[in-house]
Amino acid sequence: MYAIIDIETTGGNPYRDKITEIAVFIHDGEKVVREYCTLINPERRIPPFITRMTGITDEMVARAPRFFEIAKDLVELTKDTVFVAHNVSFDYNFIRNEFKSLGYDYSRDHLCTVKISRKLLPGKKSYSLGRLCEDLKIGINNRHRAAGDALATVQLFELLLEKHPDGFLNGFSGSLGTHQAINPALKKEQLDALPQKTGVYYFFNEKEEIIYIGKSKSLRQRVMSHFTNLKSVKALEMAGQVCRVDFQETGSELAALLLESEEIKRHQPLFNRRQRRNFFNYGLYSFTDAEGYLNLKVEKTSNGQNPHTSFANKEMGRQFLFKLVAQYHLCQNLSGLFPTSGACFQYAVKQCLGACLGIEPAQSYNQRVKEAIENASMPAQNMIIIDKGRHYGEKYLVLIEGGRFSAAGYAEPGQMQAMTPAHLEGLLKPANDNRDARLIISGFVRNKRVEKVIPF
């Protein structure tokens, strides 16, 4: 069974915006057997440009049910179905986040008609719903309304089914519900048991050796991608060796990254050639110029260099570097912020001591740069980091002491009444402090990707 779904929203961000309308067509592989459509009160104003596009107004949704009032209907309606949508990540992530706000983990295998269309209908100029339907002579009534777009997706889906009469529940790489594990020793039940939750996963070979460790915010989706997106010889080779899959839920993405880093170092799996830092694309680097002055720069991270700290994007790195320059009276010229051939602006306002002109000796200037670098590795030398746990009420805690990764672990609400280092050291597990762990932690804290930070 398939649940073909379309939604309308107040915007394009599933973490910020809300659903205003939903349509669901349950399809048995031959025909639609059930329909469901309703407006939803988003409990906020609908932006004018959204109203112009969809025709949905604040007045129309004022008396509509709120999401929590239809949540049970959606769970029951889509039970034991594959979630189908055109650009499925948009609709699926919005609905998952609505459920998440209610404390419910909504998880369904899902299928994207954009991806299937690219595979079965190659060579189209555009795979947007409107252009694709126009090209295939599929009419859309009420474009940019949930029922109209969902019904057009139904017709597109049925056309795709004609080209793939065996269906998409098994054996099609466009589906996240497919079980295409190359090695027959890998049981379907192991893949079915994978949750759509954050954590770390492990691949074992026939000798029960760990050959790969990874982390994901959606364990099921990420693991399944290893067996459906076989685009390299390495990916094909690894998939063929996997006989067993195991996982650990972490709740917090920070916890997942720290656990992944530690486990890779401990087990050194065959297919983990190096610890990847895809989350942090820019880093703070230093080098000594011909005059002996330490220079700072923010640039893209590379495999050959270890940054002093890292950032999600270049602008975050530059803003952090501006603060370092002001705090330690450094030279903007030698920090790569505003390179000039003469004196930097900071020197003109008596903030730079003249390193850009050779007035300040390199030795004294470099000492301040080293102090700045040392403090850059961790936003605070002593702090308690609080992030979400694996279930409601539980929290993931990280203890930083003297700029070092001291301890980490999980705690229930009753265990967090005394938030002191001495109490936490008895509650949490000692951590393996290392450069990678510090980079991960400092990046999350600096980019405000944890729930709370308590300096002490």
- pLDDT above 80: residue 14: yes
Q: Which domain-ending residue is among 214, 243, 267?
A: 267
Residue 175, domain member (yes or no): no
User: Are both 11 and 141 inside the same structural domain?
Assistant: yes
Residue 177, domain member (yes or no): no
User: Are both 30 and 118 inside the same structural domain?
Assistant: yes
User: Are both 198 and 136 inside the same structural domain?
Assistant: no
Which parts of 137-242 fold into alpha helices (H)? Answer: 146-163, 188-192, 219-228, 233-241
Residues spanned by the domain of 405:
383-455
Q: Which two tokens stand for residue 435?
A: 């450069």
The DSSP result for 91-134, as a single string, is HHHHHHHHHHTTT------EEEHHHHHHHHSTT-S--SHHHHHH
Residue 316, domain member (yes or no): yes
Q: How, if at all, do strands 2-9 and 19-27 pair?
A: antiparallel
* Burial profile 387-422: b = 16 or more Cβ within 10 angstroms, e = fewer: bbbbeeebbbbbbbbebbbbbbbbbeeebbeeeeee
Q: Are the beta carbons of 281 and 244 closer than 8 angstroms?
A: no
User: Are both 198 and 217 inside the same structural domain?
Assistant: yes
Residue 157, domain member (yes or no): yes
User: Are both 220 and 302 inside the same structural domain?
Assistant: no
CATH number of the domain enclosing 135 = 3.30.420.10
Question: What CA–CA distance (Å, rounded) separates 310 from 375?
Answer: 13
| Of residues 88, 74, 95, the one with CA closest to residue 26 | 74
User: Are both 66 and 201 inside the same structural domain?
Assistant: no
User: Are both 215 and 231 inside the same structural domain?
Assistant: yes
Question: What CA–CA distance (Å, rounded) separates 153 from 114?
Answer: 10
Residue 362, domain member (yes or no): yes
User: Are both 111 and 85 inside the same structural domain?
Assistant: yes
Q: Residue 284: beta bridge partners?
A: 298, 309
Question: What CA–CA distance (Å, rounded) separates 362 from 373?
Answer: 16
Domain count, the chain: 4
Tens digit of each residue's pLDDT (9 = 90 or more) over 315-338: 888 888 998 898 999 999 999 998
Q: Which domain-ending residue is among 316, 344, 376?
A: 376
pLDDT of residue 329: 92
pLDDT category at 348 given cuts 50, 70, 90 is: confident
- pLDDT above 60: residue 140: yes
CATH number of the domain enclosing 239 = 3.40.1440.10
Cα dist from 413 to 262, 420, 454, whole Å: 27, 14, 16
Q: Which two tokens stand for residue 67?
A: 């999401």
Count CA within 13 A, CB hemisphere, residue 43.
Answer: 8
Neighbours of 323 (CB within 10 A): 11
User: Are both 97 and 47 inside the same structural domain?
Assistant: yes
29: left (phi over 0), alpha (psi -120 to 50) or beta: left
User: Are both 121 and 47 inside the same structural domain?
Assistant: yes
Average pLDDT over residues 147-176: 74
Tens digit of each residue's pLDDT (9 = 90 or more) over 359-417: 999 999 999 999 888 777 677 789 999 999 999 899 999 999 988 899 999 999 888 87
Question: What CA–CA distance (Å, rounded) separates 66 from 76?
Answer: 17
pLDDT of residue 251: 95
Count CA within 13 A, CB hemisphere, residue 303.
Answer: 4
Give the rounded distance of the alpha carbon of 5 from its chain centre: 23
Residue 308, domain member (yes or no): yes
Which parts of 269-359 fold into alpha helices (H)? Answer: 314-328, 345-348
User: Are both 396 and 298 inside the same structural domain?
Assistant: no
Torsional sign, CA 247, 251, 252, 255: negative
Q: Which domain-ending residue is among 207, 232, 267?
A: 267
pLDDT category at 175 given cuts 50, 70, 90 is: very low
pLDDT of residue 171: 42
Residue 172, domain member (yes or no): no
User: Are both 326 and 420 inside the same structural domain?
Assistant: no
Residue 195, domain member (yes or no): yes
